Amino acid sequence: MTNIDVNTLKVGDSFSQPVFIDSANVFVPANVPLKKKDIERLSRWGIKAVSTEGELVTEKKGAAKEAPVAAEKAAATAAATAGVSFVEYMDSPVQQEVHKVYKKLIERMHAIQSDVKEQKQVENSVVNKVVDSLQDLMTKHRDDLIQLVFFALPGENAMANDAINAAILANIIGTGMDMVAHKRTQLVTGALLHDIGMLRVPAAIREKTGKLEAEELNKMRSHTVYSYRIVTRELGYPEEIGLAALQHHERWDGEGYPKKLSGKQITLYPRIVAVVDAFQAMISQRTYRDSMIGYTAMRSILSDNGRRFDPEILRVFIRCMGIYPLGSIVLLSTSCIGRVIENNPEAPMRPRIKLIIDKDGTMLDNDTAAIIDLDKEKKVFIAKAVDPKGLVKSP
């Protein structure tokens, strides 16, 4: 890992591997150019150096990129003019109903978290009902829930939102590993509760926008121990579920916390939750940085190289989710913009795409828009992933 003096960073710099603020927080993923506001944030936070295992990349600029960029801007203008939210645009009546149930689960989880925060007694049967409802919804509407993880706008209950999303992603991995039903239920419960101990960390530390001092960082890291105690002592769950909370910040290379365990010294559930927690953090808005789009987060996870995550679990995650996760908005080489509707495990860079906006920037009708199978249309390819937030009219 190479340390880089913040004063040497320039707008437009990008690196072949992710750049980290510290061992736990990605500042920018691999091959993503730095913006002026990124560098200004580092100065504002008092951060003197960042680190990466990659090398400085100089992007080659050429006329070939100008057309797609122009098309993307035209598409954004068309979407803004129409006042279209891409979450709403994707919603069928069934998806709208799934969205309602999803929001109710978040509300129920928020109520559980509020009681834990106030140190009221919580029966694990209440948590079990959330887990059962979520697993039932996953069985019937897996693909719809994946899209909500990426594109449903978080409300006031961000922590509950993160907990539900973590449980959804853990369920996907557990299913992909052919985990037996009761083990998958334990995994989902552990993922749902893995950060519950954050409620015992002072809000001033949890919500701080600047760099944490050493003492504050230690208090923040204590959330894994608090989570373990809440899960096993207050909620009465077995050790396996408690360890999902206690060990989810341990690292495959032994550089994590609280005990610097490595490899398979870390039990299975927390090795899965570690991937889920990191990915969920990347695609969610945080006080110290903007959220990443699904493709960028997936690229960052893939570049781990056995440092933080179990490589086998990463392989399962990528196989289940795809390089471009379901619902991802992408710009095609034809200058059209579309949405990923089906992944191709044999060729993850060539999913099936439903067009949203044509090459002229015209919004297409959702019911009649063409579907392109990139595995068959060999001359068409994905030019880049598009952040859907840039294609939504501000209220």
* Span 99-109, pLDDT tens digits: 999 999 999 99
Q: How many CA atoms lie within 13 A of 58 on its CB side?
A: 0
Model-level pTM greater than 0.75? yes
pLDDT, one tens digit for every residue, the chain (395 residues): 788 888 888 888 888 877 877 654 567 777 778 888 778 777 766 778 888 888 888 644 443 444 445 555 554 544 444 444 444 445 578 888 899 999 999 999 999 999 999 999 999 999 999 999 999 999 999 988 988 888 766 667 889 999 999 999 999 999 999 999 999 999 999 999 999 999 999 988 888 877 889 999 999 999 999 999 999 999 999 999 999 999 999 999 999 999 999 999 999 999 999 999 999 888 876 544 556 778 888 888 888 878 999 999 999 998 888 888 888 888 888 888 888 988 887 788 889 999 988 888 788 887 788 999 999 998 888 888 877 665 544 33
Q: How far apart are CA 139 and CA 149, in angstroms?
A: 16
**Short-list 283, 369, 372, 354, CA closest to 321:** 283
Q: How far apart are CA 193 and CA 187, in angstroms?
A: 10
Predicted pLDDT at 141: 93
Predicted pLDDT at 79: 44
Element holding 175 (H helix, E strand): helix 158-176
What ranges in 27-157 are assigned the alpha helix state H? 36-45, 66-82, 86-90, 93-117, 124-151
Predicted pLDDT at 394: 39
Phi, psi at 276, each rounded to 5°: -60, -45
Q: Which value, in Å, is the radius of gyration of the alpha carbons in the chain?
A: 21
List the end-to-end C-alpha distance of the chain, in Å, as a whole number: 43
Q: What three-state secondary structure class fits 228?
A: helix
Q: What angle do CA 120, 166, 266 make, to 5 degrees?
A: 90
Q: Are 173 and 313 in contact (CB under 8 A)?
A: yes
Cα–Cα separations (whole angstroms), residue 229 to 188, 196, 200: 18, 10, 11
Predicted pLDDT at 388: 65
Q: What three-state secondary structure class fits 340?
A: strand
Predicted pLDDT at 22: 63
CA dihedral of residues 320, 323, 329, 330 (deg, nearest 10): -150
Q: How far apart are CA 75 and CA 281, in angstroms?
A: 28
344 burial (CB, 10 Å; 0-12 / 13-18 / 19+) is middle
Q: Residue 123 has which token pair?
A: 């029966």
Q: How far apart are CA 294 and CA 300, in angstroms?
A: 10
Only one residue has tokens 């029966």, namely 123
Q: How far apart are CA 165 and CA 124, in angstroms?
A: 19
Beta-bridge mates of residue 363: 357
Q: How far apart are CA 105 and CA 357, in angstroms?
A: 33
Domains located in the chain, CATH noted = 2-57 (3.90.105), 67-84+325-391 (2.30.30), 92-321 (1.10.3210.10)
Amino acid at 294: G
Q: How far apart are CA 304 and CA 320, in angstroms?
A: 18
Q: How far apart are CA 223 and CA 162, in angstroms?
A: 16
Q: How far apart are CA 337 and CA 357, in angstroms?
A: 5
Q: What three-state secondary structure class fits 297?
A: helix
